[in-house]
Amino acid sequence: LGFVWRELVMNSPKPVHRVLFVCHGNICRSTMAESVFTELVHQAGRSDEFVIDSAATSTEEIGNSPHYGTVAKLRQVGIPLVPHHARQVRAKEYANWDLIIGMDSANMRNLRRIFEREPEVQADDCAKLIKLLSLTGSDRDVADPWYTGNFDATYEDVLAGCKALLKQL
């Protein structure tokens, strides 16, 4: 149902913001950001203005559900988990999104590599690519809880970035 809804909205004449969150595996940070941003948009009464999704730069976790640490943290703070299975972002998707938001510097490099051959990307020099915490005025990366184990710190970063994003849109 979510895919069908997204397709309908993406093809709708109503103006929407199309936002894609991206991390390495699409099971921790980007799925957390997708769920947090979806909830913030819902609370603001603006759900009909957005298409929100997440993806990976790698193929390592394709098809897997969100990490249990992400699920537990979202449950702890009362944010519904958006149903999702990890997928890799495709080069042809660049035109489908208004913003493609990476979680760290490595994600940003990998996104540029994925998209660099697309004519639209060459024309706008990857202008749609933004690192999440840059929206808060910081150059920091969102720490990867796959390595740190600290889903609390990741959540705080994701929440700050998502709030800043919503404010700007």
Catalytic residues: 23, 29, 144
The C-alpha atoms of residue 8 and residue 83 are separated, in whole angstroms, by 18
The amino acid at residue 88 is Q
Supply φ then ψ for residue 33, to 5 degrees.
-65, -40
Strand partners, 56: 23, 88
Collect all residues with Cβ–Cβ distance below 8 Å to 153 and sequence separation of at least 6: 143, 145
Question: Tokens 């700050």 sit at which residue?
Answer: 160
**Residue 99 belongs to what H/E stretch?**
strand 99-102
10 Å CB burial of residue 117 (0-12, 13-18, 19+) is: exposed
